[in-house]
Amino acid sequence: MNDRIRAKPPATDVDHWTETTVQAVRFDDTAGGYAITVEDGTEVTVSRAVFELFASRLDRSVDAPGDAVGATAWYR
């Protein structure tokens, strides 16, 4: 689990990040974290702690993981 996702635009290394929209979020039992599918079909897998941090920084309230669907994000 070393993928990275952000809820806010990156301040540095901007060229290394891709702006996207969250398409789906599911808990991944195997990895013990969340698999976030973005608009190009890429699946970004992050720990629970990273997902909670990501969700807390979105411009919307996220009461359940699925609430992040449709949010703008940046990943690498």
Q: Is 46 left (phi over 0), alpha (psi -120 to 50) or beta?
A: beta
What is the rounded CA–CA span in Å between residue 56 and residue 29? 22
| Domain around 12 | 5-75
- Containing 5, the helix (H) or strand (E) segment is strand 5-6
What is the rounded CA–CA span in Å between residue 52 and residue 14? 23
Going residue by residue through the chain (76 aa), what tens digit of pLDDT does each one get?
Answer: 557 999 999 999 999 999 999 999 999 888 789 999 999 999 999 999 999 999 999 999 999 999 999 999 999 9
What's the whole-model pTM score? 0.90
Number of domains, the chain: 1
Given this model, what pLDDT does residue 14 score? Answer: 94
